[in-house]
Amino acid sequence: MIKPVCLVIGAGAGIGGTVGKKFAAEGYHSVLCRRSDEEGLQKLVAEIQAEGGEATGYLLNAVDEGTLEERIAAVEAEIGPIQVVLFNLGAQIGNRSLEDTPLKTFELGWRMATLALFRVAKEVIPHMEQRGGGTILVTSATAAVRGNAGQHSHAAAMGGRRMLCQSLNAEYAARNIHVAHILVDGAVDAPDTLGKMVGAEAFQKLRETRGAEDGLLLPEHMAETYYHVAHQHRSSWTHELDLRSYSDLAWWNHR
């Protein structure tokens, strides 16, 4: 029997890969796409298969022309119907002052965080609509709701992404397409993104500082909520929600 597909765009060892595992464990075929690290990707796929789940992995550069479109078409043709998309691409480039943000960098942020979602939506929604529905989960960040120094590229891209999610819901909810904007308000315990960005030592310190072992957002628990939102009854959909560790403060509060 062909399983429904959960397509993950941005499947690292943090949110993306972990949500992919969760959906595979619940009966989906998880298609995991990431830009680089074939070894890490195959490790994820193997872990899912070792637990009896189905998964396939692809390296894919989301900003290259046609890549997302071709992957979606191929998955639909060769693997199964994409019932859920997790759009999990970030566009965080650290703090970059205005003068240290070239036009190309600003554009790249938009291509990853905004345009790539638009491309995915354009390609996958017709398939979903034809089958009577589908779900697009979008990982987002506080940059989607407030600007900050050094965040010119990131905030502009994420703010655009959020408005796009709202527009997609306004147009497609009544046709059974559910788009959820999940605002991750805090640091995620993701060794290969945050960990690399801050360095191993600082990362471990951060883990320890933020209250015992669960002060950072833990992907395996975030995945529970991603899964829940994707399976809400259509009479009661959530379109915007936040996720934050108990030990952290909301983005607008200060220590």
Binding to a second copy (CB under 8 A) within 138-157 occurs at 143-144, 146-152, 155-157
Query: Which residue, 30 or 151, is less far from a second copy as judged by CB?
Result: 151
Q: Does 251 bind a second copy (CB under 8 A)?
A: yes
Site membership for a second copy, residue 174 (CB under 8 A) = yes
Residue located via tokens 């119907």? 81
Phi, psi dihedral angles at 201 (to 5 degrees): -70, -50
DSSP for 75-111, please give it.
Answer: HHHHT--EEEEEE----------STT--HHHHHHHHI
Q: How far is the CB of 209 from a second copy (least distance, A)?
A: 13
- Binding segment for a second copy (CB under 8 A), chosen from 2-10, 27-35, 77-85, 115-123, is 115-123
Instruction: For residue 155, give the amino acid letter.
Output: A
User: Considering only 18-26, 47-55, 100-108, 192-200, which stretch makes contact with a second copy by CB under 8 A?
Assistant: 100-108
Tell me how far apart the alpha carbons of residues 95 and 44 are, in angstroms, rounded to a whole number: 30
Give, as ranges, the residues between 215 and 244 that touch a second copy (CB under 8 A): 215-218, 221-222, 224-225, 228, 232-244
In whole angstroms, give the CA distance from residue 50 to residue 130. Answer: 33
Least separation in angstroms between residue 143's CB and a second copy is 7
* Nearest distance from C-beta of residue 127 to a second copy, angstroms: 13
Residue 103 interacting with a second copy (CB under 8 A)? yes
**Rounded CA separation 74/28 (Å):** 17
